[in-house]
Structure 1
């Protein structure tokens, strides 16, 4: 079974992508330099908006959750980064501001996947430069799990 959610956002001049254990996409329209895990702002959807079937699929600890960030500059250059993680029974998708992917197993209401194989600091620096320049972002989450 495969479920999908898509979020649109944009980069911000304060994107540094230096955090070593998380990455985040937020609906906030601002970003301070301290937000070193945040990749994009002004997300048009938040975890609380996601379909129930998607949320349920993500609660399977055997599920694979694939986060793909596609960044497109005003000049038409495109950069893509994919992070693989997994589901967790405690994922709630109730947050109304932020999507956070984690390399750890920590779960709160912002967590969208755990056990990520990359964090913000691992993202391609050309992609990060495009985010810093305010590029458009397509953030896609796909959950795959074996059917019962």
Structure 2
């Protein structure tokens, strides 16, 4: 099993209403237009992921994303692709579609920002909220 853990924070402008993506950013600011961003000040972007993790994603591995704030968590499932670039120094985007660019972590997700539990989104709207995002690839199941 390959695991990457990202620590980030909530922000008062988190809306989590985007229909097809969700995003984690290393930036510490968020405008109300960033409706796919679920947390800011992340301690990792795509370029920071371990090579073996990136290689598994490029083999099309199934990715489980667990987003946890306080005692509330939600889970998203998505997939890697041989076309992933995994190079952004700022963010990572999980997409419901098959679209890939330099910010894409995974595609064909079962949820976007607007599908997250609203109880979790409420916590993500507080700048004091510490958020943990676990990226898990179980290669035995891949």
Q: Which consecutive unaligned segments of at least 5 residues does structure 1 have?
A: 73-77
Q: How does 1:104-119 map to 2 (within 5 A)?
A: 104-119=97-112
Q: Secondary structure at the match of 1:54?
A: helix
SS at the partner of 1:19?
Answer: coil
Match in the other structure for 1:120: 113
Partner in structure 2 of residue 66 of structure 1: 64
Query: 1:52 aligned to 2:80?
Result: no
Does residue 144 (structure 1) correspond to residue 138 (structure 2)? The answer is: yes
What's the offset of the Cα at 1:144? 2.6
Provide structure 2 residue ranges, at least 5 long, that are not aligned to the other structure: none
In the other structure, the counterpart of 1:89 is 82
Give SS of 1:57's match. Answer: helix
Residue 5 of structure 2 corresponds to residue 12 of structure 1: no
CA distance in 1, matches of 2:138, 2:57: 8
Pair 85,31 (structure 1): closer, same or farther in 2 beyond 3 Å: same
SS of the equivalent of 2:92 reads strand
Corresponding residue SS for 1:108:
coil
CA distance, structure 2, for counterparts of residue 33 and residue 83 of structure 1: 23
Are positions 1:101 and 2:101 aligned together?
no
**2:15 equivalent to 1:22:** no
Note if 1:133 corresponds to 2:126: yes
